[in-house]
Each structure stands twice: as C-alpha cells, then as structure tokens.
Structure 1
Amino acid sequence: MPLTKPPPPSERSPLLVKPQTPSISSSYSDSITGITTYLTPWRQHLTLFTSLTNCLFAGSVLVYSLWAPLFLSRLHYTQMQVNAISSTAEALMYGPVPVFGFICDRYGPDKLSALSSLFFGPGYAIAALAYAGGWSYMFMLVGFGLVGMGTSSMYFSGVTTCAKTFTGRRGLALAAPIAAFGLSSLWMTQLVSRVFVEEDGTLDVEKAFWFFSITLVIVGFLGSIGLRGVREEYEELETEDLTDEEEAALEKGRWINSDTRAFLKDRTMWWFAAGVFLVTGPGEAFINNMGTLITTLRPLPTSLNAPILPPPVSPALHVSLIALTSTFSRLFAGSLSDYLAPSAPTLPPTKPRFSCSRLYILFSFSLLMFLGFFLVATSFIYTHPKLFFLVSSTIGAGYGAVFCLAPTVVSVVWGTKNFGTNWGIVTMTPAVGATVFGSMFSAEYDKHAEGGVCMGSHCASMSFAAMAGCVLVAVAGWWWTWKGQGGWKQRGVVV
C-alpha cells in the first residue's frame, strides 16, 4: 500500500500527520506489537526485558549525593569542585544524547548498549583509584564524565527501544523504562548503604565504585546481545517516498534528515525545550547536591568549642525516597496521560468520555516540584528539619513525572520515527540546567561556608528561590507554546 507523504509543517498544521493513531482502547497485543509485527513473541518479550534491565542498572549517577559529603570531608574538595564533578557527569550524560539517539535510530540499540560498557568500566575504575589515592579532583571529574556517558547510552538504548517498539500506548511505553531508571537509584542506594560500609559506619566508596565498574560492564554487554537484531520498518518509511534530490541529500548528511531539520526549525520546540531546561535543571541540581543540602540542616554550634552535630536526617533515606516518588510518578503520569489524553480528531467518533490534555498533567507535577523548592527558599525546612521528606518527595515526584511526560509530548507532537534524535536534542537542556543551577547553589554555599562547612538557611535560600521562580516561568512558557499564537492548539495538534 503506497504511503502518503505528509504536508510540510506550518503554523496551522501539526508537524507530523499520521493516517492512523492508536486509540486508547488498543489491546495489550496491539501495543506490544506496535510496528515490529515481524518479531516473534519471545523476541518481543526479550526486547522488553532487556530494555527494562538496562534502565534498571543505568542510574548509578543518581546516587551521587551519597558520595558528595565524603568528597568534602575525606578528599577535602570544595563544594564548587564537588558540583563541577556532578555537572560534568550531567553535561556528558545529556550532551551526547543526540549522537546516541542517532546511533539508536540508524544502527540499533544493541550498539549503544555495548558502548555503555566502554564508558562505565573505565569511568568507575578511575573514580575508585582517585578516591583511594586522594588524587586531584580532575581525575574524579574525568571518571564521572565517562560515567555520565555510560548512563545516557545504557538508558537511551532501553527508552528508545520501548518508544519505537510499543507504540500502542505511548505514555506507558515511555513510563516503564523511565520508571525502571528511577528505581535503579533506589536499589543501588540500599545496596551501597548496607553492603559497602566501613567499620565506623561510613560508606566504603572505593569498593562501591569497583562494584559498579564490573557490574555495569556485564550489563551493557548482555544488553547488546538482548537487543541485537531489533530493527524497525521506520527506515523504509523514512526513505520510500523521498525524491531523488532528497535522497541524495540524505546520503550526504544522513543524521540531519528532513524530520530533524523541521524539528529544529519549529519555534515551539525551542519554547518547549526552554521549559524543560527551567524545570529539570533545578531538579538535577537538587538531586546532585541533596547530600550537601542536608548537612546545612544541622543546628549552628552554640559555642566555638561545641561539637558539630550530625545531620537530622539521613541522605541515603532521602535518595531512596526520591527514587520511590519519582518512579511512582513516572508510572502514574504515563498511565494517566494515556487514559485521559483526548482522542485525535482524525479518529472515528467514540463514546463521550472525560479527557485531559497531557500538558495539564505536566503543569500539575511541575507546580508540585515548585512547592519543594519553595519550602527550602522560605526557610520552612530549617525550622522543621524532620519534615525534609516533604522537599525530597515533592521534587522527586515532579522531576519523575516531567521526565516521563516531556518525551511523551515530543513523540505525540513530532512523531516517533525520529524520536531518538528529537528527544536527544531536547535532553541536552537538563545538562546545561544542572550546571547553571548547581553552580548557583555551590556559589551561595561556599560564600557562607566556614572551614568548608556551611550550616543554616543562608546556605541555600536564595538559590532555591531562583529555582522555584524558574519552574513558574517554565509553566507559563509551556502554556504559551500550547495555546499561544501559532501554538500547538492552533495547529490542530492534540496533546
């Protein structure tokens, strides 16, 4: 059956128009088959299992806040240096994602899974040697830079496979691997805090790093086997209806195809990406620096000779709480968005039902995230430190839902054919955001620190106030992208 080439994107029409869009009532069989109808059932389930396993092991970088206090106390790094390490990991986790997306789109996720082994192994090995030998923080920075690239390559191999394979329920297809990624920090935190502990109760960071170095190499290698042979018919769809001139241009610069160019020229993409930057940047900064933030909750010494008391709450507990809330919110938001999303006008009329745009759900979770930053900015949490769980749970839930709903929006507005590259471009923004907002917090912390230690609300209140304000700006920008002049609603895009 010949394919109908979609019209070029305009201010009044969606970027990608599909003849058929799976309805919400699609059966599990329809959703798991998606566009890979040629895969046998056991191969489909192996693909799903491998994708989720990759994501379940990819999130070791999310437990960075466990190491940060020990980098300060044992290795005597400054808070700015500790933040530089995490920012480098974030930058190299998100920065190369367009390239990793291209590898997935063109050569298959198995290649990307194998590549993750080459990053994780040396990365954690360098970090272990640097910690044991007390080397310069530059070595730790290099090690975690490799860990960042390993994280994104292993994670992206799983997410892209699910997004392109199980198209019947887009929200859930993305929520499952993203939730598995969130769970990875939960089990890793519990494992590290219970197994890799020295006699005095502090974490044995060196052994933990060696464990990750070996284990993640094995997982990446097994992932390359489990995802081998996963090829999709989108390559045929992408090239079948091109003219000779377009095909020649495609061969000349294949990674920038017509869909990618249209995506980059769409101004609503830049508005949407700016919102992702303003929401996920503060979220990344909080997760990376939560261990240090918790140390600021300690009561100020009453005298010069008074001992410094331990933090009133456990960093490991709140890393786990973030993992739990973010995982639940990813699954909940993804499932809810599938169930409540309005039907496309091109579908046959169905029985009237209540519907809610995915963007309303995105706004709600973003405002929940705002509440967490607000509690720190107003110093409420410093007078009630035992209620810190309100901060970690609200930010964790908002962060998880945004990272589930944002790629879903990208797949709905711009399609799944070029999803790996398109979402990879958008996910460069959290890396910049983590650096900007993390540096903002570190500068405020170091400014008020005495002897490398800062305690009290003055250590973080201004930076968290800025983060809270940025979340509100992001919500306003997303609203304009959706309902403003030339926005998605005017184009007829049903999100």
Structure 2
Amino acid sequence: MRRTTQVTVAYLVGCLSMLGAGTVYLFSLYGPAFNAVLHFSSSQTNVVASAGDYGLYLSGPVCGALVDRLGPRPPAFLGGGLLLVGYSLLAHLFNHVPADTDDASPHTVALAAFAFALVGMGSQAAYMAAMSATARNFARHRGLALGTAIGLFGLSAFFFSQMHRLPVLHEEARFLAFLAAATSGAHFIAATGLRVVPPASPEVIDVPSEAARLIGPVDLVTPVAPVPRALNPASQRTFFRDPQALYLFLGLFGVTGAGLMFINNIGTVIDTLAATDAAPAATLQLRTHIVSLLSLSNFGSRVLSGQTSDVLLRRHGLPRIALLLTAAVVMLFSQLGVTHLTSTTGLYLLTVLIGSAYGTVFALGPTVTSEYWGNAHLGYHWGWLVLAPAIGGHTCNTLFGLVYDAHAPAGTPVCTGAHCFQNSFRITAGLCLFSAIALARLLVLRFRVLKAQ
C-alpha cells in the first residue's frame, strides 16, 4: 500500500476516533437528570462531572506514554473498552433508580463518579492515539491537520446531541447505552487503521531551532535513524526544567477550568434562569440548542485557529501563543458576561465566545507542544500539560457546586435565579486573568528567543 494511501486511511480513522472521543462534553445535556432522577445535589453532580474531567486529563501522561511506546492502535482499542464500560455503568444507574428516596446514597454517587471517570480515561486514550498519529504523519501544515482532527473532538457533542433529539433516545438510560455502543465502536474501528506511517527516505524528523519554530515551517529533512519509542530521560528533564512549560501550564489552568465549568454546568444554569412555569420540553430543547452551539463553536475554532496560526506564523512570524493569549482574554470577558445574565437571552452569544476560546486553546496546545519540544515524545509532554485542565476543571466545578448549594433553599437541591451562580463566574474571571498574564509572559519570552537568534 502506498504511503499516501496509508496516511489517508490513518487520518480518516483518526478523525472518526476524534468524533467519538469528545462525548465527555455532553454532560450538561443529561447532567440535570442526576438531580431530577437520581436525587443528586448540585455538589454531588459536580463530583461526577469533575471525575470525568480528572479521568480525561489526569490520564494524559499515562496515555501519552503508552502512545509513544506502543503506537496509536493499543490506546485506541483501550479507549473503546473504557467508554463501553463507563457509559454502560451510567445507563445501569438510570435503569435502576431507587424508589422512595429523597437523597442519593454515597454508593450511587461513587459509582457514577467512577463510571464517568472511565469515560474520561477512554476519551483521553483515543484522543492521544489519534492526535499523536496525526501530528507525526503530517509534518507540513501541522496546524491545519491537527486543527481539523481535533475539531471533530469538539464537534462530537453536537453530533451526539442531535441523536439525543430522536424520540427513542430521549430517556437518559437509552441515550447512555447508545453512547456506550457508538463511541466504543468508533474506536474499535479506528484501532484497525490508525498508525504512524514511516516517512519516505530520507526520513523526516522535527528538530527545529528556536528561530525556525517561530518564523517558518518546522519541516527539516535529515537522514537520521528512526526515533526510538522509549522515552529519553534527557528529554524528560529538559521539559520539566523549561520555564516555558510552566507558563503554558499556568495559561491552560484558568482558561480551561473556566471553560469546563461552563460546559459541565450550562444545563444547570439554564434550569436556574428558566421561568418557573417553563415547560420541561422547552427547557430540554434550549439545553440541546446550547450544547449544539457550544460544540459547533468549539469545532469551528479548532479548525480555524489551526489554519490561522499557520498563516500568522509563516507570513508574519507571530507565535501561536499570541492566539492562545487572545483566547484567554475572550474567556475572561465571557465569564464576566455570564455574571450579568438575568435570563437565557444572552446565553447564545456567550456560548459561542466560550466555545470558541476553549476550542482554540485545545487546538493550538498540542501544536505548540510539538513545536517547542518536538514530536518524538509529544504524547508524553502534552499528557503532562493537560493536567492543568484536570486541576482547573475540578477547582471550578467544585466552586460552582458549593456556590449553588449555598444559595439553594434549605431542604431542596434546586436554586433559582442568577445569584445561584454569579459569584462562581466572578472568581473564574479572575482565574482567566491570571492565565492571560502567564501566557503574555510566555509570548514575551518567545519574542526574546527569536531576537536572540
């Protein structure tokens, strides 16, 4: 089989895997059912949401190392298995709701959190496999190739939210069972064709200088031996001692944490702002529209930011970090915008802004990582950096749950009115400012490196 055909097949199945790996962002669609059906408090629901975020991001270093050592196929297959088990457990919980109970048992909360953590880990394994294979198969136009593939990760929530609109999938248990079959099937198929295709001789390896990373394509053709799969300890030490890694980590922390809080709790925000006499069907429809809009803006920004960063880098020498800084500023003002909401009217614009900023960060993050520290251990390096969203997401989700429950009337898990969440978004706006400062510092550092060359 020709190399072009092999790369095309690997890219297509990688895109399929990405489409099935982003369902963790669907939580806000069925998250309110944990309150309404399983009788979870808002804090307990956010424990489940945070467990998914932790599964998704804390598994990053392990999944990245597996991809670097074993190649993309085993992690893709592992991801399918974890998603199958995780979503099946969640479907089981909704199929066996305890009767005559006002509060969820700790056992039920723990099982739900464990199941959603498996969903997160499965999503990360599949994501890392597809992302790493794409980055290594496309030395040229890496921003566009990665942006499009990773964009499908963001589009996943839109695709499956449309499936949720089908009458047969309205019930949470059926929808979760469908997710178990569909997402695992996508990754099992991807595992058959996902691979890193060796370049034609002479071999291609990314060893760009600091100046080359900033002012031109990072495609140097050098006859070298194949890159070993085992992690080089020197590369590991260089990464952890590099101040750029710290600034990038801090930049990701606040922006992604704020974005995840919005993504995981937008369903609760809608229920909080909706009129008390609003029909449940109308509220569900609004949640579906918002989740779809969030997913579409996430997808669009991932694709466009990758292509835009390629153009700005090659034609104007502008580091990709500049777009990350822009995304942080957009997220900052969007969080402030949520604090001024008094109805659901303004949610559409804010959803587009937050989805776009969030998608930009995750589209450019792996690309920046590959440019700064090379492709040989991209999975490992990016795996450590995505611990920032895990910590930021848990911090912000916990904050939202505590603020919401503090404003809820005694004896009920339901709170109505904007005051239920405003303080949460004020604090996350401050975190976004902190991250913007870190990214600005990183941008200055990159320009200094360029000037020194």
Asked if these proteins are the same fold (TM beyond 0.5), I'd say yes
Partner secondary structure for residue 452 of structure 1: coil
Q: CA RMSD in A?
A: 2.6
User: In structure 2, what is the equivalent of residue 194 of structure 1?
Assistant: 166
User: In structure 1, what is the equivalent of residue 377 of structure 2?
Assistant: 418
Out of 38-47 and 386-395, give the one that drifted further: 38-47
* Corresponding position: 1:59 with 2:35: no
TM-aligned CA deviation for residue 196 of structure 1: 3.8
Partner secondary structure for residue 444 of structure 1: helix
TM-aligned CA deviation for residue 278 of structure 1: 1.1
| Cα distance in 2, alignment partners of residues 166 and 107 from structure 1 | 19
User: In structure 2, what is the equivalent of residue 372 of structure 1?
Assistant: 334
User: In structure 1, what is the equivalent of residue 446 of structure 2?
Assistant: 488
User: In structure 2, what is the equivalent of residue 259 of structure 1?
Assistant: 235
User: In structure 1, what is the equivalent of residue 101 of structure 2?
Assistant: none
One-letter amino acid matched to 2:345: K
Matches within 5 A, 1:334-483: 334-342=306-314, 354-377=316-339, 379=340, 381-382=341-342, 384-450=343-409, 451-483=412-444
| Cα distance in 1, alignment partners of residues 143 and 67 from structure 2 | 20
TM-aligned CA deviation for residue 309 of structure 1: 6.4
Quick check: 2:400–2:424 contact (8 Å CA) kept in 1?
yes
Considering only CA atoms, is the larger Rg found in Structure 1 or Structure 2? Answer: 1
* Corresponding position: 1:293 with 2:256: no
Partner secondary structure for residue 31 of structure 2: helix
User: In structure 1, what is the equivalent of residue 36 of structure 2?
Assistant: 73
Quick check: 2:321–2:442 contact (8 Å CA) kept in 1?
no
Quick check: 1:196–1:205 contact (8 Å CA) kept in 2?
no
1:119-153 CA-partner distances (Å, limit 9, x unpaired): 01111111111111126122211111111111111
| Cα distance in 2, alignment partners of residues 493 and 216 from structure 1 | 47
User: In structure 2, what is the equivalent of residue 166 of structure 1?
Assistant: 138
Cα 1:369–1:236 change in 2 (3 A) is closer
One-letter amino acid matched to 1:208: F
Percent identity over paired residues: 29
One-letter amino acid matched to 1:436: T
The match for 2:114 among 129, 137, 142 is: 142
* Corresponding position: 1:104 with 2:71: no
One-letter amino acid matched to 1:153: A
1:317-371 CA-partner distances (Å, limit 9, x unpaired): 00000111111111111101001114xxxxxxxxxx5453322222222222222
Partner secondary structure for residue 341 of structure 1: helix
TM-aligned CA deviation for residue 476 of structure 1: 1.1
* Corresponding position: 1:208 with 2:170: no
Mark the runs of 5 or more structure 2 residues left unpaired by the alignment. 99-107, 208-223
User: In structure 2, what is the equivalent of residue 27 of structure 1?
Assistant: none
| Cα distance in 2, alignment partners of residues 95 and 319 from structure 1 | 25
Cα 1:213–1:285 change in 2 (3 A) is same
| Cα distance in 2, alignment partners of residues 194 and 394 from structure 1 | 28
User: In structure 1, what is the equivalent of residue 215 of structure 2?
Assistant: none
User: In structure 2, what is the equivalent of residue 131 of structure 1?
Assistant: 94
| Cα distance in 2, alignment partners of residues 195 and 428 from structure 1 | 38
The match for 2:149 among 169, 173, 177 is: 177
Name the structure with the higher helix share. 2
| Cα distance in 2, alignment partners of residues 82 and 399 from structure 1 | 22
Cα 1:144–1:493 change in 2 (3 A) is farther
TM-aligned CA deviation for residue 241 of structure 1: 8.4
1:161-185 CA-partner distances (Å, limit 9, x unpaired): 1111101112112201110111111
What is the TM-score of this pair, normalised by structure 1? Answer: 0.80
Quick check: 1:108–1:231 contact (8 Å CA) kept in 2?
no
Quick check: 1:92–1:149 contact (8 Å CA) kept in 2?
yes
| Cα distance in 2, alignment partners of residues 64 and 308 from structure 1 | 22
Cα 1:222–1:70 change in 2 (3 A) is same
Cα 1:236–1:371 change in 2 (3 A) is closer
User: In structure 2, what is the equivalent of residue 7 of structure 1?
Assistant: none
1:256-279 CA-partner distances (Å, limit 9, x unpaired): 532122101112211210110111
| Cα distance in 1, alignment partners of residues 451 and 398 from structure 2 | 38
Structure 1's consecutive aligned runs of 4 or more residues displaced over 4 angstroms after TM superposition are: 228-237, 307-313
The match for 1:118 among 74, 81, 105 is: 81
| Cα distance in 2, alignment partners of residues 236 and 334 from structure 1 | 18
Quick check: 2:76–2:129 contact (8 Å CA) kept in 1?
yes
Q: Give the count of matched residue pairs.
A: 421
| Cα distance in 1, alignment partners of residues 2 and 239 from structure 2 | 30
Cα 1:269–1:39 change in 2 (3 A) is farther
| Cα distance in 2, alignment partners of residues 276 and 338 from structure 1 | 21
1:465-484 CA-partner distances (Å, limit 9, x unpaired): 1111211221111111231x
Partner secondary structure for residue 166 of structure 2: helix
| Cα distance in 2, alignment partners of residues 334 and 128 from structure 1 | 36
Partner secondary structure for residue 50 of structure 2: helix
One-letter amino acid matched to 1:492: L
* Corresponding position: 1:218 with 2:190: no
| Cα distance in 2, alignment partners of residues 493 and 423 from structure 1 | 27
| Cα distance in 1, alignment partners of residues 401 and 146 from structure 2 | 33
Partner secondary structure for residue 417 of structure 1: coil
Partner secondary structure for residue 375 of structure 2: coil
Partner secondary structure for residue 455 of structure 1: coil
* Corresponding position: 1:90 with 2:48: no
TM-aligned CA deviation for residue 255 of structure 1: 3.8
Mark the runs of 5 or more structure 1 residues left unpaired by the alignment. 1-37, 198-202, 302-306, 343-352
1:41-67 CA-partner distances (Å, limit 9, x unpaired): 211110110111100111111110011
What is the TM-score of this pair, normalised by structure 2? Answer: 0.87
